Chain A
Amino acid sequence: MSNSVLIAIDGSPGSDRALQYAKDRAKLGGAKLIVAYVIEWSPYSFNTPEENAERHMRREQEIERATSGVVAPAAALLQAEGIDCETVVQHGPPAETLIRLAEQNDVKQIVIGRRGQSGIKTLLFGSVAGNLIQTSPVPVVVVP
Chain B
Amino acid sequence: MTKILSAFFAFLLLSLPARAGFDDTINELTAPIASAIGSFVFFKIPVLGAQLPVVVLWLVIGAVFFTFYMGFVNIRGFKHAIELVRGDYADPDSPGEVSHFQALATAVSGTVGIGNIGGVAVAVTIGGAGATFWLIVAGFLGMSTKFVECTLGVKYRQENPDGSVSGGPMYYMRKGFEERGMGGFGRVMGTFYAIGIFIGALGIGNMFQSNQAYVQLNTVAGGGLDGLGWLVGLILAGVVFAVIIGGIKSIARVTEKIVPFMAIFYCLFAIIVILMNFTSIPQAIANIFSGAFTGAGVQGGAIGALIIGFQRAVFSNEAGIGSASIAHAAVRTPEPVTEGYVSLLEPFIDTIVICTITALVIGTSQVADPNFAGEATGVAMTSAAFERQIGWFPIPLAFGALLFAFSTMISWSYYGLKGWTYLFGEGQMGQTIYKLIFCAFVALGCMVQLGPILDISDALVFLICVPNILGLYVLAPIVKREMTSYMARISSGEIRKFDH
Contact = CB atoms under 8 A, between A and B. Distances in A.
Interface of A: 39, 41, 43-57, 59-60, 62-63, 90-92, 97, 100
B260 A43 contact: no
B101 interface: yes
Contact of A46 (B164, B260, B329): B260
Given A46-B106, A56-B165, 12 more contacts: A43-B87, A43-B99, A43-B102, A45-B102, A51-B253, A52-B102, A52-B103, A53-B329, A57-B162, A57-B164, A60-B163, A92-B92
B166 interface: yes
A62 B249 contact: no
A46 B162 CA distance: 23
B334 interface: no
A55 B97 contact: yes
B357 to A, nearest CB: 21
A56 B332 contact: yes
Contacts of A100: 92
Nearest to B259: A46
Contacts of A63: 96
Interface in B154-190: 162-166
Interface of B: 87, 90, 92, 95-99, 101-103, 105-106, 109-110, 162-166, 249, 252-253, 256-257, 259-260, 326-327, 329-332, 410-411, 414-415
Contacts, number: 88
Most buried by A among B105, B109, B330, B331: B330
B99 A44 contact: yes
Contacts of B414: 48-50, 53
Contacts of A45: 102
Contacts of A51: 249, 253
Most buried by B among A50, A54, A100: A50
A71 to B, nearest CB: 15
Contact of A52 (B162, B249, B327): B327
B124 to A, nearest CB: 31
Nearest to B328: A52
27 contacts: A43-B95, A43-B102, A44-B101, A44-B102, A46-B109, A46-B256, A47-B98, A47-B102, A47-B106, A47-B256, A48-B106, A48-B410, A48-B411, A49-B411, A51-B253, A52-B98, A52-B330, A53-B329, A55-B98, A56-B98, A56-B164, A56-B165, A57-B162, A57-B164, A62-B96, A92-B95, A100-B92
Contact of B164 (A39, A41, A53, A91): A53
Contacts of A57: 162-164
A47 B101 CA distance: 10
A43 B90 contact: yes
B252 A48 contact: yes
B97 A56 contact: yes
List the 4 closest pairs (A to B, CB-CB), nearest first: A91-B96, A57-B163, A43-B99, A52-B330
A51 B105 CA distance: 13
B96 A39 contact: yes
Contacts of A49: 106, 110, 326-327, 330, 410-411, 414-415
A41 B332 CA distance: 16
B253 A48 contact: yes
B97 A59 contact: yes
A136 B162 CA distance: 40
B256 A48 contact: yes
A60 B94 CA distance: 12
A46 B163 contact: no
A46 to B, nearest CB: 4
A45 B97 CA distance: 12
Most buried by A among B90, B95, B252, B326: B95
A52 B87 CA distance: 17
A137 to B, nearest CB: 15
A52 B329 CA distance: 9
Nearest to B166: A53
Given A44-B101, A47-B106, A49-B411, A56 B163 contact: yes
Contacts of B260: 46
B455 to A, nearest CB: 27
A52 B167 CA distance: 12
A46 B410 CA distance: 14
Contacts of A46: 102, 105-106, 109, 256-257, 259-260
B262 to A, nearest CB: 12
B498 to A, nearest CB: 11
A90 to B, nearest CB: 7
A39 B94 CA distance: 12
A59 B101 CA distance: 17
Nearest to A43: B99
A60 B331 CA distance: 15
A44 B260 CA distance: 12
Nearest to A49: B414
A54 B98 CA distance: 9
A49 B323 CA distance: 11
B167 to A, nearest CB: 9
A95 B164 CA distance: 30
Most buried by B among A43, A49, A53: A49
Most buried by B among A51, A52, A57, A59: A52
B86 to A, nearest CB: 10
A62 B92 CA distance: 18
B336 to A, nearest CB: 15
A117 to B, nearest CB: 22
